[in-house]
């Protein structure tokens, strides 16, 4: 009998990991912020300890230096305090990649640290003196772990080359140089075009700073490639990583959103079509010309990638991986999947409900049974309606812009065309075929949102009570059920 019980227990332990993997993933949330706060304080103190105000130079120079150190340390503190992601899955994974790079390159600063950020923008950057910030938004756009390793090596190269300190010193020396002060006094003493001359001086200073910044990028690519080649990762993926960065501002799916499939029904009988190209006038003699900024990659999140790719190809002696790569390992594929959901949640948590709605609708055709995605759609519609009703719609809906992708602009046109009472039909159409199916906090909150939009107060009140009882102090309590300020608190405010 004892042997039978033992065998049953062992079998249960064997199937536990598989069962855990089958559970749908929900974005990470914790009410305990002590660990994040301590991490932010540690990084702020590290910057202050390292960037010591020089004893030489004018008092004006040293005061400016002190001000920059304070602003930098505060910026790092706030960035980590309010965006660090310490989840139990993605964060340990990227930390493992980071440790492998450090182990293979012992010459790197021992103080170098990696912080995973909730920031949905696909980027990474080195801040302070030894901190590398990796945005969660970058992970879904990469194809394999070697590409991630190169990006981390690139940022570690910035740390090793002390680019931040060098850039800060160059900036201060230029601002407080005799030549700069002499030119500024000359402009002030001139009779005409003082404002234009000051703008030209500032523009020249900015362009010079950009030149130095791009020089640092080339140095970081060079050293980053060397650091990567010392690891067990595939160094040829450095080129492909830059290829991906060059097109990272474009959506992963180029086609239009199937809005009619989700939001067209008897309660909201409307067809959705992409905006048509404006017909050319018969009087048009010359096509509209784009500005210099629009014809270069200056406005890209990652400029100069084409030049950097040529440089890396030379370093690699043409041994590069170009074009789409083979499917990544199952482990990295899971990290990409989780990161996509974390990106959507980050957009939602940052009150960017248009982005959260867009990304959720973009993923739904690939994952039609994903209850989380359905919940985010309904919750985003609810929050959009609340802001429209509160006259703060422009704060949570982006401006239509040529810099946006065409499908995102199409969604924005729909959102700007909606009236307050139309959200009821819009959410009803979606909920008919896409009601969240899981019994979790998101699904319960989404059902409440749908009932609130449908003007069903009794059902909404029942769901509210259930949500507050079952998930007291949960993720949506303050968002969905904000406590109105007291008269004393309002007076103090």
- Asked which of 228, 246, 264 is the last residue of a domain, the reply is 246
Domain assignment of residue 188, yes or no: yes
The total domain count for the chain is 2
Question: Could you tell me if 217 and 358 lie in one domain?
Answer: no
What order do you get walking across the sheet with 124-127 strand by strand? Answer: 113-117, 131-135, 124-127
Domain assignment of residue 126, yes or no: yes
- pLDDT tens, position by position, 151-191: 999 999 999 888 766 666 555 555 555 565 565 566 666 65
Residue among 163, 80, 161, 164 nearest 115 (CA): 80
Domain assignment of residue 192, yes or no: yes
Helix (H, G, I), strand (E, B) or coil at 124: strand
Domain assignment of residue 57, yes or no: yes
Domain assignment of residue 273, yes or no: no
Question: Could you tell me if 355 and 236 lie in one domain?
Answer: no
Residue among 443, 374, 425, 344 nearest 137 (CA): 344
Rounded to whole angstroms, the Cα distance separating 57 from 169 reads: 12
Domain assignment of residue 339, yes or no: no
- pLDDT tens, position by position, 136-158: 999 999 999 999 999 999 999 99
Question: Could you tell me if 101 and 225 lie in one domain?
Answer: yes
Q: What tokens were used for 394?
A: 């422009």
The contacts of residue 137 (CB under 8 Å, 6+ apart) are: 119, 120, 121, 122, 123, 339, 343, 346
> Regarding predicted confidence, which is higher, 281 or 471?
471
Domain assignment of residue 329, yes or no: no
Question: Could you tell me if 211 and 356 lie in one domain?
Answer: no
Question: Could you tell me if 58 and 204 lie in one domain?
Answer: yes
- Asked which of 214, 230, 246 is the last residue of a domain, the reply is 246
Question: Could you tell me if 223 and 361 lie in one domain?
Answer: no
- pLDDT tens, position by position, 272-329: 876 555 555 555 555 555 554 455 565 666 778 888 999 999 999 999 999 999 877 9
Domain limits for position 370: 351-486
Helix (H, G, I), strand (E, B) or coil at 138: helix
Residue among 239, 234, 255, 438 nearest 332 (CA): 234
- Asked which of 214, 246, 278 is the last residue of a domain, the reply is 246
Question: Could you tell me if 60 and 199 lie in one domain?
Answer: yes
Question: Could you tell me if 357 and 242 lie in one domain?
Answer: no
Domain assignment of residue 383, yes or no: yes
């Amino acid at each position: 009998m004892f042997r039978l019980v033992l065998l049953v227990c062992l079998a249960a332990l064997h199937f536990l990991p598989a069962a855990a993997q089958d559970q749908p993933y929900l974005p990470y949330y914790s009410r305990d912020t002590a660990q994040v706060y301590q991490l932010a304080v540690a990084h702020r103190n590290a910057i202050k300890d390292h960037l010591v105000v020089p004893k030489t130079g004018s008092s004006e120079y040293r005061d400016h230096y002190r001000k920059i150190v304070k602003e930098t340390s505060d910026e790092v503190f706030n960035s980590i305090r309010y965006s660090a992601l310490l989840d139990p899955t993605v964060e340990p994974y990227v930390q493992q990649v980071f440790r492998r790079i450090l182990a293979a390159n012992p010459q790197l600063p021992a103080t170098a640290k990696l912080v995973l950020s909730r920031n949905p923008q696909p980027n990474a950057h080195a801040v302070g003196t030894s901190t590398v910030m990796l945005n969660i938004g970058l992970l879904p756009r990469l194809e394999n772990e070697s590409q991630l390793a190169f990006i981390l090596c690139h940022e570690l190269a910035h740390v090793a080359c002390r680019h931040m300190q060098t850039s800060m010193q160059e900036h201060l020396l230029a601002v407080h140089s005799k030549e700069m002060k002499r030119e500024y006094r000359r402009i002030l003493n001139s009779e005409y075009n003082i404002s234009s001359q000051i703008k030209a001086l500032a523009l020249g200073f900015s362009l010079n700073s950009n030149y130095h910044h791009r020089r640092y990028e080339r140095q970081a690519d060079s050293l980053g490639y060397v650091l990567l080649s010392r690891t067990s990762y595939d160094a040829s993926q450095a080129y492909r990583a830059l290829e991906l960065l060059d097109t990272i501002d474009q959506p992963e799916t180029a086609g239009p959103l199937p809005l009619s499939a989700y939001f067209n029904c008897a309660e909201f009988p409307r067809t959705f079509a992409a905006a048509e190209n404006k017909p050319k006038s018969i009087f048009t003699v010359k096509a509209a010309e784009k500005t210099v900024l629009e014809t270069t990659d200056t406005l890209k999140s990652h400029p100069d990638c084409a030049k950097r790719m040529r440089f890396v190809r030379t370093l690699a002696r043409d041994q590069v991986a170009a074009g789409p790569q083979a499917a990544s390992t199952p482990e990295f594929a899971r990290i990409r999947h989780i990161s996509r959901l974390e990106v959507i949640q980050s957009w939602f948590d940052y009150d960017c409900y248009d982005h959260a709605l867009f990304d959720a609708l973009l993923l739904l055709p690939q994952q039609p049974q994903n209850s989380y995605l359905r919940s985010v759609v309904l919750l985003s519609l609810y929050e959009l309606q609340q802001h429209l009703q509160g006259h703060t719609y422009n704060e949570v809906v982006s401006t239509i812009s040529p810099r946006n992708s065409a499908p995102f602009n199409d969604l924005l046109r729909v959102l700007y065309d909606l009236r307050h009472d139309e959200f009821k039909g819009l959410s009803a159409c979606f909920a008919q075929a896409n009601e969240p199916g899981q019994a979790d906090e998101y699904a319960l909150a989404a059902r409440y949102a749908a009932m609130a939009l449908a003007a069903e107060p009794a059902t909404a009140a029942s769901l509210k009570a259930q949500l507050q009882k079952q998930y007291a102090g949960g993720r949506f309590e303050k968002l969905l059920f904000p406590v109105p300020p007291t008269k004393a608190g309002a007076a103090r405010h």
